[in-house]
Amino acid sequence: MRYFFHIVDRYGLSPDGTGCEFADQNAAILHARRIADELAKAGEFCRFSVVFVAPTAVPAASSSRDQSAAAPSP
């Protein structure tokens, strides 16, 4: 099954549009933990990152860093 690893941080959502094939959910969660460990190595820059594992990709019309940066401020 294909799983997608979306990263959310203080700047917004970084959707995974490609995903990876894994035998089961446990293998996908293990991979997400590896991603989180790598993000933690970046220190303060990625301190508040969260990795979401999903069986589907984020639709193109949903929020992403690019769209949130272009949004007008009140």
Structure tokens at 42: 């970046």
Rounded to 5°, angle at Cα 71 from 68 and 73: 120
pLDDT at 42: 78
One-character DSSP codes across 4-47? EEEEEETTEEE--SS-EE-SSHHHHHHHHHHHHHHHHHTGGGGT
Q: How many structural domains is the chain composed of?
A: 1
Claim: this prediction has a pTM higher than 0.85: no
pLDDT at 56: 79
pLDDT (tens digit per residue) in 6-65: 998 888 889 999 999 999 999 999 999 999 888 888 776 666 778 889 887 776 544 444
pLDDT at 67: 41
The domain of 53 spans: 2-70
Query: What is the Cα–Cα distance from 70 to 17, expressed in whole angstroms?
Result: 20
Does residue 5 carry a pLDDT above 80? yes
Which conformational region is residue 63 in: left (phi greater than 0), alpha (psi within -120 to 50 degrees), or beta? beta
pLDDT at 29: 94
